[in-house]
């Protein structure tokens, strides 16, 4: 199972902070599209981090079980 | 990993204690401090009363570690500290504290500017602006 984590306004839209999904032969772009359709993330200006590193939404990097993928809204620190 | 996140506001006492802790480091000749304070922004007649900060702590700690390492490589610093609040911080309270120390003033000015901008841009910290009428909106840094 891969862990999917949601933060800020993304968590508000998905109504959860995290969930676990079974991943088989999927890359970042495919997982993003799956979640995008599931929660209608179209209005959100989100970015994706794979194992705590920002990656492109269209990235073809493989997501493995035990990976952590996070959907991050705009940063607001400071 | 150094502890960056502080639950609740960063108090004047905390800042004063941080300064006092450096008085035994005789190689330091210059300190510079940046304090971020929650501002009562007004959006369509609604006034911000507080910001509720959250973060992706695991990633933020790694990002902040890299930012700190880069600052040490780039500037001639003796030490530096970064603190950021988590939780609800009211207007007028301090939520961000950057404290840079070096032999000379030039390094502390430049390093502080680099650190403040890098944290705003790169650290996964999120802010829910809570209005006085109990509605809210999500804060977005200009560097996003």
The ipTM (two decimal places) reads 0.94
Residue B28, in any domain of the structure: yes
β-sheet with A68-72: strand ranges across: A18-21, A2-6, A68-72, A47-50, A53-55
User: What is the three-class DSSP state of A38?
Assistant: helix
Residue B143, in any domain of the structure: no
Residue B59, in any domain of the structure: yes
Residue of A nearest to B56 (CA): A7
Question: CB A75 to CB B58 under 8 A?
Answer: no
Q: Give chain B as a 3 state SS string.
A: CCCCEEECCECHHHHHHHHHHCCCCCCCCEEEEEEEECCCCEECCEEEEEEEEEECHHHHHHHHHHHHHHHHHHCCEEEEEEEEEEEEEECCCEEEEEEEEECCHHHHHHHHHHHHHHHHHHCCEEEEEEECCCCEEECCCCCC
Tens of pLDDT, residue by residue over A14-40, are 999 999 999 888 999 999 999 999 998
Residue B4, in any domain of the structure: no
CB of A55 less than 8 A from some CB of B: no
Of A8, A53, A70, the CB nearest to B54: A8
> Which residues 83-112 of chain B have a CB within 8 Å of chain A?
84, 95-96
Residue B2, in any domain of the structure: no
Range of the domain at B106: 9-138
| pLDDT over 80 at A47, yes or no | yes
How many domains is chain B partitioned into structurally? 1
Residue B144, in any domain of the structure: no
pLDDT at res. A25: 86
Q: Pick A2-66's CATH classification: 3.40.50.720, 3.40.50.800, 3.40.50.1820, 3.10.20.30.
A: 3.10.20.30
User: What is the three-class DSSP state of A68?
Assistant: strand
Residue B3, in any domain of the structure: no
Residue B124, in any domain of the structure: yes
User: What is the three-class DSSP state of A13?
Assistant: helix
pLDDT at res. A42: 86
pLDDT at res. B72: 98
The pLDDT tens digits along chain B (144 residues) read 688 999 999 999 999 999 999 999 999 999 999 999 999 999 889 999 999 999 999 999 999 999 999 999 999 999 999 999 999 999 999 999 999 999 999 999 999 999 999 999 999 999 999 999 999 999 998 866
Q: Tell me, what CATH number does B51's domain have?
A: 3.90.1170.40
């Amino acid at each position: 199972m891969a862990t999917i984590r949601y933060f800020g306004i993304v968590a508000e839209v998905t109504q959860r902070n995290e969930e676990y999904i079974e991943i088989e032969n999927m890359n970042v772009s495919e997982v993003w599209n799956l979640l995008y359709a599931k929660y209608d993330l179209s209005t959100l200006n989100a970015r994706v981090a794979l194992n705590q590193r920002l990656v492109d939404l269209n990235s073809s990097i493989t997501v493995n079980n035990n990976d952590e993928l996070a959907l991050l809204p705009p940063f607001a620190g400071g | 990993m150094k502890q960056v996140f502080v639950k609740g506001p960063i108090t004047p006492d905390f800042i004063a204690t941080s300064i006092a802790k450096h008085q035994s480091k005789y190689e330091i000749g210059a300190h510079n401090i940046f304090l971020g304070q929650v501002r009562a922004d007004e959006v369509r007649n609604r006034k911000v009363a507080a910001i509720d900060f959250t973060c992706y702590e695991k990633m933020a700690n790694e990002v902040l570690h890299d930012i700190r390492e880069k600052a040490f490589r780039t500037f001639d610093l003796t030490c530096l500290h970064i603190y950021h609040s988590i939780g609800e911080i009211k207007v007028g309270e301090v939520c961000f504290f950057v404290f840079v120390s070096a032999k000379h003033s030039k390094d502390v000015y430049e390093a502080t500017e680099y650190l403040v901008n890098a944290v705003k841009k790169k650290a996964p910290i999120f802010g829910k602006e809570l209005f006085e009428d109990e509605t809210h909106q999500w804060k977005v840094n200009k560097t996003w």
